[in-house]
């Protein structure tokens, strides 16, 4: 056991060689800073990127029509066509693997007007079940519901940027009236979703209406611009994509093999790519961080070897007056642990302060966009790794010190 007086002696030894200790400790300091900083930074960047897809179902697909690229049933390629509400019923009836089948219509370039304030927005018409595909984040009020559809209520849900522009004073806008084109709607909710799945317009710049109401007001008939679907538990969207495409294509005399005509955007693929990307980023973080730490530990080991060589006489005298090899071993290892721990804790402190600054920079209106800080157990793991590196760095110099014989030390003196 190393007592307080011994630790005081170790500290005095490090201070006597302060220049060498500072240069050696900087390697450990920088390695720990890099490891902890990269861990927290990688975590925060992952959350910031995931915020772009916040609330969107991971087992979903979006389907829309495009001009045909292949001839079929006597029709030439290049023919335009549109999906209808009948396609929604076909998918529900013929593809039992689907859980949610929600149609959408949209209209861009609309101006929302409240008093003298205007905002250029996109308008979306959806059914209430669309919230199970792209979950809204309601700050005020509610989302579109079944009664809005059944009674053809002229109600709407506005996005965050629409709200901040039309109501700069803040507060609950529910019950207020907004004009879209020549029609007035009552606001029933404010959606603060931050997701950037910009299909038919981003959520924060959109005004959402009941689907059937929008079809009637904009004279769309039974046209559907997009269909959002989700798979049941255990169902992989990519496995049923050919069946989905076939059900819709055959109803419109479109070649089922024409993938460009019946576009199916599978979000499973997107989220899979993101997961693989961040697995690679995590591996790179650990590789760079641990590599830098090992470089610092090697520097500590080298400097301890030099220290042992310079203190050969001192160690020999200690051996001569009764110090056992175990005591010499403990002293050298303790010096190494002290050096790596002091430098490492400084690196952790600076990394935590840097990550805190990154969190403050990503805070808006008191809402934190992403957590950059490392967890308690990650910090404990970093400290444990420092202790192991300190032992490893001091082991070889300590073994060298143990082999010093008093007679050789006196002769060198």
Q: What is the DSSP string of 85-110?
A: HHHHHHHHHH-TTEEEEEEEEEEEEE
- Least confident segment among 50-59, 263-272, 340-349, 399-408: 399-408
The mean pLDDT of 44-61, rounded to a whole number, is 75
Per-range mean pLDDT, top range of 22-31, 91-100, 329-338: 91-100
Whether the per-residue pLDDT at 16 is higher than 60: the answer is no
Whether the per-residue pLDDT at 37 is higher than 50: the answer is yes
* Structure confidence at residue 11 (pLDDT): 47
Whether the per-residue pLDDT at 9 is higher than 60: the answer is no
Whether the per-residue pLDDT at 311 is higher than 90: the answer is no
Terminal-residue alpha carbon distance, the chain: 30
Neighbours of 5 (CB within 10 A): 8
The mean pLDDT of 358-364, rounded to a whole number, is 76
The mean pLDDT of 252-271, rounded to a whole number, is 86
* Structure confidence at residue 10 (pLDDT): 47
* Structure confidence at residue 2 (pLDDT): 45
Contacting residues for 391 by C-beta, under 8 A, at least 6 apart: 333, 336, 337
Q: Are 131 and 118 in contact (CB under 8 A)?
A: no
Q: Are strands 117-126 and 206-210 parallel, antiparallel or unpaired?
A: parallel
Q: Are 273 and 243 in contact (CB under 8 A)?
A: no
* Structure confidence at residue 1 (pLDDT): 43
- What percentage of the chain has pLDDT greater than the value 90? 35
The span from the CA of 384 to the CA of 265, in Å, is: 46
Query: For residues 309 and 255, which has the higher predicted lDDT (pLDDT)?
Result: 255
Q: Are 173 and 111 in contact (CB under 8 A)?
A: no
Per-range mean pLDDT, top range of 21-35, 104-118, 393-407: 104-118
- Least confident segment among 287-291, 397-401, 408-412: 408-412
* Structure confidence at residue 367 (pLDDT): 63
Whether the per-residue pLDDT at 170 is higher than 70: the answer is yes
Whether the per-residue pLDDT at 7 is higher than 50: the answer is no
Segment (H or E) for 270 = helix 267-310
Whether the per-residue pLDDT at 17 is higher than 60: the answer is no
Of 229, 198, 240, the C-alpha closest to 83 is 229
Burial of 342 (0-12, 13-18, 19+ CB in 10 A): middle
């Amino acid at each position: 056991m190393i007592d307080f007086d011994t630790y005081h002696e170790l500290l005095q030894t490090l201070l006597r060689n302060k220049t060498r200790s500072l240069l050696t400790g900087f390697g450990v300091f920088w390695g720990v800073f890099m490891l902890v900083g990269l861990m927290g930074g990688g975590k925060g960047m992952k959350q910031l990127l995931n915020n772009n897809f916040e609330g969107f179902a991971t087992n979903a697909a979006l389907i829309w029509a495009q001009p045909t690229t292949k001839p079929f049933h006597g029709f030439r390629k290049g023919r335009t066509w549109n999906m209808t509400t009948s396609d929604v019923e076909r998918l529900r009836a013929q593809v039992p693997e689907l859980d949610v089948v929600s149609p959408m219509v949209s209209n861009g370039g609309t101006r929302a007007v409240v008093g003298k304030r205007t905002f250029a927005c996109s308008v979306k018409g959806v059914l209430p079940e669309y919230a199970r595909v792209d979950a809204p984040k309601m700050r005020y009020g509610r989302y579109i519901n079944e009664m809005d559809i059944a009674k053809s209520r002229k109600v709407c849900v506005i996005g965050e940027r629409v709200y901040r522009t039309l109501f700069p004073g803040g507060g609950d806008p529910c019950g207020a009236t907004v004009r879209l084109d020549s029609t007035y709607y009552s606001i029933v909710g404010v959606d603060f979703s931050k997701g950037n799945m910009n299909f038919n317009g981003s959520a924060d710049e959109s005004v959402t209406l009941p689907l059937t109401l929008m079809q009637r007001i904009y004279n769309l008939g039974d046209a559907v611009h997009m269909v959002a679907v989700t798979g049941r538990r255990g169902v992989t969207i990519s496995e049923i994509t050919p069946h989905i495409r076939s059900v819709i294509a055959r109803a419109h005399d479109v070649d089922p093999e024409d993938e460009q005509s019946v576009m199916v955007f599978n979000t499973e693929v997107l989220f899979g790519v993101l997961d693989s990307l961040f697995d690679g980023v995590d591996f790179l973080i650990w590789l760079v961080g641990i590599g830098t730490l090992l470089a610092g530990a090697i520097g500590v080991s080298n400097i301890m070897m030099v220290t042992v060589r310079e203190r050969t006489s001192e160690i020999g005298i200690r051996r001569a007056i009764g110090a056992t090899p175990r005591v010499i071993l403990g002293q050298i290892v303790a010096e190494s642990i002290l050096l790596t721990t002091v430098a490492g804790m400084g690196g952790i402190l600076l990394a935590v302060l840097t990550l805190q600054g990154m969190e403050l920079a990503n805070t808006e209106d008191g809402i934190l966009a992403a957590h950059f800080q490392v967890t308690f157990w990650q910090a404990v793991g970093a400290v444990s790794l420092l202790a192991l590196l300190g032992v490893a760095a001091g082991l070889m110099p300590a073994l060298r010190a143990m082999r010093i014989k008093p007679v050789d030390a006196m002769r060198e003196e």
